[in-house]
Structures are given as structure tokens and as C-alpha cells.
């Protein structure tokens, strides 16, 4: 059921387990069938010529990302939950979401600066305190109404040469891919209800202390390096976050 033969893992700069997990993800996406039994650790070790430790780490990552699931006493099976996870991540495009609602999205870049990371922000993007980073601030609009205020932190060594000119009129992730060869592997996002500060309320043109939604998004590339950390605040009277959940028979 699975492809035979190994692959060149030495040529990849990413960690061994990450390279293996990406190869297994690609196969599941193209040839795997939901609820079909997954290769055993021993079979993966033999096919890909890697250690059992590497296989276990890769499988743990696949399980976290919804590509496989385990049944006690029966083994490991292919899951289709990764499709819903992927749809959710792709669905968090502000531009695409607004277009689906029939609105015209625009973005205003209020600042882009470079400075040395402090002890608080450094670990959030996987760098050391004192290392340089970019801080990008934007206001997102729909039909001319400000809906969301975003602050994005980017590691300087990954995005050297980044300018406002490069970003104007373009999706941030499109710039990642086209200008810096950075492809997104996955992103983790948290959101919660909160109250707007006076500064946030002014930026979003609403009364202070109004209700809002807060988002924190950490994006990783295929080397499992953090390439983006974004903090967003959205008006709750104009913005909603829609998620569809499916229950699978597992």
C-alpha cells in the first residue's frame, strides 16, 4: 500500500525526524486512505533507513497534526483530520475571508522597524535576547472599516531585506514564499475574548473598553523554525471567527 524505497535525507537541511514526517505527510496526502492502517515503526525504519527514535518522533508529529491516530490494542491508522486543520489554517486569510463575505479587504501598514529582541519576545520567535527582529504593524480593513489591528514579529536573519515596499499590496505569506523562499509547514493559533485598550479602540475607531477577540499565531516553516509570531485584536461587533468541526469514527 505504501511506496517502496528510501529517500535522500542527508541532502535536507532540516532535522531528520522533520524530513521523515514531511515525506510521510506527502504520501498520506497523495496516496493514503482515511482509516487505513499505517505502516508500523519497523516498516518505516526499513523503508526510509532511519532509526526507531526518529520514526517515533516523526509519528508523534503526524499524530499532533491530525495525519494519523492510534487505537488501543489495534495499532496506528491514517486520519483525515489533517484536511480540516489545513482548511482552518488556510481559512485564516483575512483577505479571503472578507472576499467570501462580499467585502473589499485592504491593509494599511502603520510601521515596519528593526530592533533587538528583549527577553520576553525572543523565545516566542525562537531567537536569543539581543538578536535582531522585524516588527510589522498593520490595520486590516473591510469596505473601509477598520476591523483588526496586527503586530507581527519576524526573525531578521530569515527576512533580511524586508521593506514596506515589498509588503505594500501583497499578502504577507506570498512575500514569504516569493521573496524569501519560506514555505509554511503549519501554524498554531490561540484566540480569546477580551476588552479593547484605549490605543486599540482608537486604531479601530470604536469606543474604549469595547469587546474584542484576541489572536496569537505562531507559524513554522518546513525546518520547524518559527518564522512569524503575530498578535491580533479584532472588533467583535464586525469580525467573527468561524470554525467547522467534524467528528470522525475512530
Can you give the three-state secondary structure of 134-201, one letter per residue?
EEEEEEEEECCEEEEEEEEEEECCCCCCCCHHHHCCCCHHHHHHHHHCCCEEEEEEEEEEEECCHHHH
Q: Could you report the per-residue pLDDT of 160-208, keeping only the tens digit for each?
A: 999 999 999 888 888 998 999 998 888 888 888 888 899 999 999 888 8
The size of the chain, in residues, is: 250
| C-alpha–C-alpha distance, residues 18 and 76, integer Å | 19
Q: Are 162 and 182 in contact (CB under 8 A)?
A: no
Provide the whole-model pTM. Answer: 0.64
Q: What are phi and psi of 47, to 5 degrees?
A: -65, -45
- Domain region containing 214: 94-235
Are 133 and 25 within one domain?
A: no
Are 28 and 152 within one domain?
A: no
Number of domains in the chain: 2
Q: Could you report the per-residue pLDDT of 31-89, keeping only the tens digit for each?
A: 888 888 998 999 999 988 999 999 998 898 888 777 888 888 888 998 877 665 544 44
Are 56 and 178 within one domain?
A: no
| C-alpha–C-alpha distance, residues 5 and 34, integer Å | 23
Q: Please give the grid coordinates belonging to residue 139.
A: 490595520
Tell me if 249 is assigned to some domain: no
Q: Could you report the per-residue pLDDT of 115-158, keeping only the tens digit for each?
A: 999 999 999 999 999 999 999 999 999 889 898 999 999 999 99
Are 56 and 156 within one domain?
A: no
Are 55 and 121 within one domain?
A: no
CATH number at residue 205: 3.40.1410.10
Amino acid at each position: 500500500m505504501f511506496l517502496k524505497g528510501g529517500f535522500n535525507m542527508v541532502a535536507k537541511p532540516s532535522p531528520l525526524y522533520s524530513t521523515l514526517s514531511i515525506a510521510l505527510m506527502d504520501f498520506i496526502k497523495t496516496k493514503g486512505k482515511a482509516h487505513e492502517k499505517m505502516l508500523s515503526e519497523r516498516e518505516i525504519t526499513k523503508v526510509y533507513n532511519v532509526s526507531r527514535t526518529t520514526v517515533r518522533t516523526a509519528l508523534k508529529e503526524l499524530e499532533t497534526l491530525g495525519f494519523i491516530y492510534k487505537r488501543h490494542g489495534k495499532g496506528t491508522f491514517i486520519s483525515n483530520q489533517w484536511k480540516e486543520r489545513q482548511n482552518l489554517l488556510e481559512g485564516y486569510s483575512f483577505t479571503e475571508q472578507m472576499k467570501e463575505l462580499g467585502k473589499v479587504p485592504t491593509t494599511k501598514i502603520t510601521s515596519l522597524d528593526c530592533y533587538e529582541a528583549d527577553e520576553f519576545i525572543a523565545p516566542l520567535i525562537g531567537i536569543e535576547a539581543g538578536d535582531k527582529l522585524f516588527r510589522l504593524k498593520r490595520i486590516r480593513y473591510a469596505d473601509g472599516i477598520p476591523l483588526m489591528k496586527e503586530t507581527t514579529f519576524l526573525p531578521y536573519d530569515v527576512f533580511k531585506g524586508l521593506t514596506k515596499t515589498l509588503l505594500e499590496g501583497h499578502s504577507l505569506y506570498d512575500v514569504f514564499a516569493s521573496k524569501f523562499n519560506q514555505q509554511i509547514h503549519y501554524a498554531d493559533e490561540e484566540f480569546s475574548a477580551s476588552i479593547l485598550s484605549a490605543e486599540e479602540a482608537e486604531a479601530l475607531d470604536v469606543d474604549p473598553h469595547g469587546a474584542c477577540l484576541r489572536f496569537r499565531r505562531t507559524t513554522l516553516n518546513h525546518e520547524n523554525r518559527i518564522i512569524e509570531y503575530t498578535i491580533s485584536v479584532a472588533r467583535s461587533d464586525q469580525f467573527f471567527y468561524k470554525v467547522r468541526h467534524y467528528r470522525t469514527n475512530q
